[in-house]
A and B are shown apart, each in its own frame.
Chain A
């Protein structure tokens, strides 16, 4: 079976600085992989390379067997299959929630407005915010905005979802509602790659945890091994620091 995401020997430089130093990593279909590690370790860059928001310097990334790093790849078409959720939500402030959810459906997938509206209502129901569908993003709390952002990605019927620290910009009391939605997605079998600092979420939801430090994958495995009995010193140190917090 081909992996949903297969990353082979990925390198990324920002100028002189090597941020990713040869990453190999797979995400299977219906698998939830949490990427953890200290800030500056390259987690977000790795995630952003997967849908080529960041241009890899070298290496290959296959999306369901198709090479997205190929210069001739139709990146726009491949991105439709990859939903992405950002730390800063990035909802479109000039559009109301419904239009946020339908604009790409109509312009990219060429769905009719009626069909798009219907899909939008269904995904808003799924994230529990159907009553906010006519609001503008600015009127919503951070947690609600992030749930709308998840709904916006879902409306495109992606095969997989990337989450770039989806709760890091949220007030502590709003984190739970977003994690609940993500838990629901995982339960429904969505393929997910999640960069996160929420260790309890990783422990509970992830099928596999990837620990990154300084541009390399230091260790990976099931959460109850990697998060409980890490094999490497670096992972042990990081986890101790996180738990002391």
Chain B
């Protein structure tokens, strides 16, 4: 049977809708909703989790993120400047650093900081517990990614800006600090915010450092709660809290990117 192209397109479209609706209905019919509700959306369990899930777990997640982000940002700035430097060993070091830590799983870096350092330096332990060790480890990883972002931002500032600054008698470092970097950071706020969101999720790896009831972040908190209650609701709660933090941020990034696109 020969179909006209338009009829053919319509038929394919109808089929695709049909498959989607059928899959949806099938899931609804087959699923045991009472069971799912009991195991994943159990109000009793939710109530048990409060207030610790917010006061301790979510708070720790945010504190670890802030710690690793601020440390990572400073380190990234140094690395970006090293990579832009005219001094070759600096450039090489920054390149190797970036390739190394982008190539390794973050988990390995965290374990190195938590357990490698004490072995290597005979019992040496970083002070400050999970916050410091975790922030350092995650910051070291994030810096590798953010360094490339910052470097791209610096290169995106037109050369004429530096020339104008230099022609006014500014030294190269003054021109960088007062003229180039402020413009570079304006350009890279969206990708840096993205990096922040990635870090929020990566803090879930910090459980390998070992935890006490007071140092658990969201994921570890949820997993432990799941074990004690033999119920999956804690995972649902943790997921919701993560989304409450990350969705507004990704929305913000989209807005910033759109604004940057308009102003250009």
A interface list, Cβ under 8 A from B: 51, 53, 76-77, 79-80, 82-84, 86, 88, 90-94, 103-104, 107-109, 138, 149, 152-153, 156
Contact = CB atoms under 8 A, between A and B. Distances in A.
Contact of B183 (A53, A94, A103, A153): A94
Given A103-B178, A107-B178, A108-B174, A90 B169 contact: no
Interface stretch (B46-54, B91-99, B159-167, B210-218): B159-167
B63 interface: no
B182 to A, nearest CB: 5
B164 A76 contact: no
Interface string B150-172: 00000000101101111111110
Contacts, number: 60
B178 A79 contact: no
A80 B163 contact: no
A107 B167 contact: no
Contacts of A94: 182-183, 186
Given A88-B160, A104-B165, A153-B168, 19 more contacts: A51-B167, A53-B163, A53-B166, A53-B167, A83-B167, A86-B163, A90-B161, A90-B163, A92-B179, A93-B183, A94-B182, A94-B183, A103-B179, A104-B169, A107-B174, A108-B169, A108-B170, A138-B263, A156-B168
A156 B169 contact: yes
Contacts of B263: 138
B169 A92 contact: no
Centre residue among A53, A107, A152 by max chain B CB count within 10 A: A107
A167 B17 CA distance: 61
Contacts of B158: 88, 90
25 contacts: A51-B167, A76-B171, A77-B169, A79-B166, A83-B167, A84-B167, A86-B160, A88-B158, A90-B158, A90-B161, A90-B163, A92-B164, A92-B179, A93-B183, A94-B183, A103-B178, A104-B165, A104-B169, A107-B170, A107-B178, A108-B168, A108-B169, A108-B170, A138-B263, A156-B168
Contacts of A93: 183
B164 to A, nearest CB: 4
A152 B163 contact: no
Nearest to B183: A94
Contacts of B160: 86, 88, 90
A84 B167 CA distance: 6
Centre residue among A51, A91, A104 by max chain B CB count within 10 A: A104
Q: Is the interface of B mostly helix, strand, loop or mixed?
A: helix
B159 to A, nearest CB: 9
Contacts of A107: 170, 174, 178
Given A93-B183, A94-B183, A79 B167 contact: yes
Contact of A80 (B161, B164, B169): B169
A104 B163 contact: no
Contacts of A84: 164, 167
Contacts of A91: 164
A88 B171 CA distance: 21
Nearest to B167: A84
A90 B170 contact: no
A53 B166 CA distance: 8
B164 A79 contact: no
Interface in B171-226: 171, 174, 178-179, 182-183, 186
A109 to B, nearest CB: 8
B161 A76 contact: no
Give the 8 A-B residue pairs with the shortest CB-CB distance, closest first. Answer: A90-B164, A104-B168, A84-B167, A80-B169, A90-B160, A108-B169, A79-B169, A94-B182
A84 B163 CA distance: 10
Contacts of B168: 79-80, 104, 108, 152-153, 156
A230 B160 CA distance: 35
Contacts of B161: 90, 92
Contacts of B164: 84, 86, 90-92, 149
Nearest to B177: A107
A26 B168 CA distance: 22
Nearest to B179: A92
A190 to B, nearest CB: 16
Contacts of A108: 168-170, 174
